[in-house]
Structure 1
Amino acid sequence: MRKDKEKVLDEVWTEDRVRSFLEVRSFDQTDRSFHMLLKAYQSMRASDFEKFVGFFTNDGRDVNCTNGNEETVLSIISQHNKGEEYAAILRSAGASL
């Protein structure tokens, strides 16, 4: 069997592509802002995530939004071994645990 997708490294993220994550919607009852912020974290390099967080907050969205378990994206990222750079970006945007 062969892979159906090739792994892409060092993909270029244009400003429009980063902004497009403001349109991400959840397929369940998860808070839309929480879902888009988590998806951006999961998909972007830290430098692109930092741009996204700027667009996110300029759009009036709350970096302290929560999921159904009252977890913030920062609380989830803080549990990841390689999440510190992303957590620092959220903290500088006003996120707290």
Structure 2
Amino acid sequence: MKKDKQKVIDDVWTEDHIRSFLDFRPHDGSNEDFHILQKAYQSMRADDFELFVSMFTGQERDVNATGRDGRTVLAIVGEHRKGTPYAEILKAAGAA
């Protein structure tokens, strides 16, 4: 069977698309700032994530928010092989 859609690679994200992640809300009762930051990390390339983090911190959101397991997004990123640029962005924004 033929696929209906082709996978899109290297799609250019607009500022509005990146900003839209600030409106994400958790459905499981987890910390809102953690949820938003984690979704952005999971979805964005490093350059887009850097812009997002500046928007995120511009709203005085918490880059050190924790998930239900007590870990921060920085801790999660640190476990990933290709997470170094994301970790650097988070640290520059005050994540510890």
TM-score normalised by length of structure 1: 0.94
Query: Which structure 2 residues correspond to residues 35-54 of structure 1 after superposition, within 5 A?
Result: 35-54=35-54
Aligned to 1:85: 85
Counterpart CA distance in 2 for 1:3 and 1:31 is 37
Quick one: distance in 1 between partners of 2:50 and 2:39?
13
Q: What's the secondary structure of 1:75's corresponding residue?
A: helix
1:8 maps to 8
| 1:2 CA drift (Å) | 3.7
Q: 1:7 to 1:70 in 2, by over 3 A?
A: same
Q: Which runs of 5+ in 2 are unaligned?
A: none
Quick one: which amino acid aligns to residue 82 of structure 1? K
Distance in 1 separating the partners of 2:4 and 2:79: 31
TM-score, scaled relative to structure 2? 0.95
Which residue of the partner structure matches residue 60 of structure 2?
60
The secondary structure found in structure 1 opposite 2:87 is helix
- Partners of 1:45 and 1:34 in 2: how far apart? 18
Identity of aligned residues (%): 57
Q: What is the rounded CA distance, in whole Å, between the counterparts of 2:83 and 2:93 in structure 1?
A: 16
